[in-house]
Chain A
């Protein structure tokens, strides 16, 4: 059984606004492709069974757990990872809100949380705390007790609205 051939595929997708091609085994997840093939290690794997939310990315604008999506399923689709939000010198408003709120401690769940928050704010630009908590309910954080994250997203929403007005 060791000689069993493994299926491989070349996948074309758009990642953070750039057209990319990755050659992967068909069984590899989108998270594997992003991390290993494209070097986008901001997407973190905390459980690899779709519970912790650390690997959340936007697929055509909607949040998905990239550990549960096969890389080949992303063929022709648009993916946004944490690297596509902002840079240290030019933070995305949600990232800036979280900076102001001391939202995170160890930082491992951070990318998935930010992506979930961005997805929420695309639907609802002025969520209340209960709506923020609901939207982040699929992202586990072990450090903060969540309160600072909720505050960070709330502040991020505010900054995003100010951006929109400016």
Chain B
């Protein structure tokens, strides 16, 4: 008897390959005759390009071509990012033409027989720059006399909008307390361990391209590339193999993708570009640079009556093709009330452009709503002299509140935020911690407790998409296909594109259970636009667990139905009296009466009309899954820290996540997603920063300057699950983003708590040791 796989931590199907160095990442592919690309990039944040002399570079050994914007224009159209009417969008080339707008802006691409030779030659390209004043700061960008990043837009403020829900005037008029703060989230980045990369192979019969890439959304990339290059859709194939992480960074159409694919068309040879770390940190895409000015109207018992929020987002120079930046401000607006009661809410969104790298989605791209909301609740607690726990209890929705619609129009159902919150607070034993904290303070030691509540739209409910103002709400439907092979094994085709999320295992678990077969009888195929169903997003937004799961189960059930139909014909037993067990169809109650699945697979392929009335051979079925009104994952993060007042180092003493993500397909995979997200959030607070100077010069282009957390920075992270409302149906909810969303809020909450008695308020999210020491100095703290 094959034990049920779903719900257990079966070993990963990916691992025998990955653990033995047999993975196929983009730089591991070898196609004969490939030339390697190296980009010539601007050292200036802003400059006019007066001329480019490629003659020395062209004479370099092994150099095949040196292409500039004019050369590329022969095969590639300009990039036209799409977005709503109230977002000003520039049109720009994959290679900069007359003006460079950030450090690392590509002005030419060198193709040579090896990467080293291409890099040598790139050094020989002479670019005559006339430096222009740059702007590396959002406030400066908004000043009327600021240098313009795109002169044709006439302004650096590319979007401004306001929304009003309820009546904030009234809320503020009657407020017992008013809190006003400015919260700053620093620019940081996804930093996958494998950088971006692409290998474009021209079709020898002309006109077509076979593109191998490290990307999250192969179908979207294919669509965009076909459009920009004018290659017919039928002639462009995008394939992804193993992907060394992405976290949102490898999701849009990158300018390098266009340049490399265009170069392949121009020279008629395969062209590869493997991004190096300096490039990845400089131009791979950065995220999260946002500032929120918040005013909160608070009732006498700490109830949140009204909020006024002004959010400014710095999108950098070139907007990403694929994700308009207004998407981030609008999802922050829609989600900000989360699982708390809030009736009156004004929100202003401003998006500015500066001479910095492109703003890209990063794991939980709306994370700042949780950080700022939870910070505000802490500030209210401090101002009122009550526990942060009490303020949250006062404001959290209760089970009796559900289902409900937030003031922003988001429908909430299927979870109980008090459940994870109460569990987490109890598990942390707050009274005992407060005693320990008081004792520590008496000894001059600084301990703190922090917490945060996260709701994660996974899968995204249509009401959220409507609340974001996207009227033609795209349904979050996913398709999967399942095929019984002649030998009785099963192939599952998914439109998901894993980059570490273990889909080959979790989706196989679901299909294997539906068909009563062992895990190694299922293979999950992904990452090939020729084979897999279309899906605009690929893997992102926790779509795998939530939507792909439903589609895979549906397709497997459809195959099962055909299998039972065939077996019924062969065995002359009604389908209702048959079941699939251990790789065979058996008669219920008489397991010795059986037909092997392999026999059914073979006959279904060989005997026309056996499986399908129209004579189609084999058994292959597809299914879609629509999550209807969507569902929510919910989690409470809680942690304790000790801050060293001498060094400013923060030690995390305990970190706990209590979450409800519905049913769990593979607990080890789920916990791994949560822990990985938390680690990224911890890194964001304590270490990571994509630093620029005021003019836009980039200051963090190596791992010496951009610090990632290591084994000694990340504590053991406890993960507990509660399951509020088992539905019995497809109830797998996403956890991909929640870890990264909750951690900055919980950690900054704890750090502030450790310093609160000194009068310190944590309003910046970035808290490296020097910043902690500054906060202590500013508070007049003297070392004892």
A interface residue numbers (CB < 8 A to B): 1-3, 6, 25, 27-28, 35, 39-49, 51-52, 54, 81-83, 85-89, 91, 95, 98-102, 104-111, 114, 132-134, 136-150
Contacts and interface: CB of A to CB of B under 8 A. Distances in A.
Contacts of A132: 711
A6 B112 CA distance: 16
B712 A133 contact: yes
Secondary structure call for the B interface = loop
Given A27-B116, A106-B499, A106-B500, A46 B12 contact: no
Nearest to A112: B193
A76 to B, nearest CB: 24
Given A42-B20, A114-B19, A142-B191, A108 B245 contact: yes
Interface in B462-514: 499-502
Nearest to A115: B21
Given A102-B12, A104-B18, A106-B194, A41 B676 contact: no
Contact of A99 (B15, B244, B245, B714): B15
Contacts of A148: 668, 672, 675
A45 B27 contact: yes
Interface of B: 9, 11-12, 14-23, 25, 27-28, 30, 56, 59-61, 116, 124, 191-195, 242-245, 247, 276-277, 499-502, 668-669, 672, 675-680, 702-704, 708, 710-712, 714, 716-717
B28 A41 contact: yes
Nearest to B669: A102
A108 B244 contact: yes
A42 B717 CA distance: 30
A141 B244 CA distance: 10
A88 to B, nearest CB: 4
A142 B501 contact: no
Contact of B245 (A25, A47, A143): A143
Contacts of B712: 133-134, 137
Given A41-B21, A48-B276, A85-B20, 16 more contacts: A6-B61, A39-B30, A44-B193, A48-B277, A51-B704, A52-B703, A82-B19, A86-B20, A106-B194, A106-B244, A114-B19, A140-B703, A140-B708, A143-B500, A143-B672, A146-B679
Contacts of B242: 106-108
B672 A107 contact: no
A45 B27 CA distance: 9
30 contacts: A25-B116, A27-B116, A35-B27, A35-B28, A42-B20, A42-B22, A43-B21, A44-B193, A46-B244, A47-B277, A47-B702, A47-B703, A52-B193, A52-B703, A87-B20, A102-B668, A104-B19, A105-B501, A106-B499, A106-B500, A107-B244, A108-B193, A109-B244, A110-B19, A137-B710, A140-B708, A142-B676, A145-B675, A145-B676, A147-B717
Given A41-B28, A48-B277, A51-B703, A145 B714 contact: yes
Nearest to B498: A106
Contact of A2 (B59, B502, B710): B59
A134 B56 CA distance: 48
A124 to B, nearest CB: 16
A110 B672 contact: no
A106 B192 contact: yes
Contact of B11 (A28, A99, A141): A99
A142 B245 contact: yes
A62 to B, nearest CB: 19
Given A27-B116, A145-B678, A136 B19 contact: no
Nearest to A85: B20
Given A46-B277, A137-B712, A142-B680, A107 B23 contact: yes
A106 B668 contact: no
Q: Which of B23, B124, B193, B702 has the most CB of A within 10 A?
A: B193
Given A40-B21, A99-B12, A106-B245, A144 B676 contact: yes
Contacts of B672: 102, 105, 143-145, 148
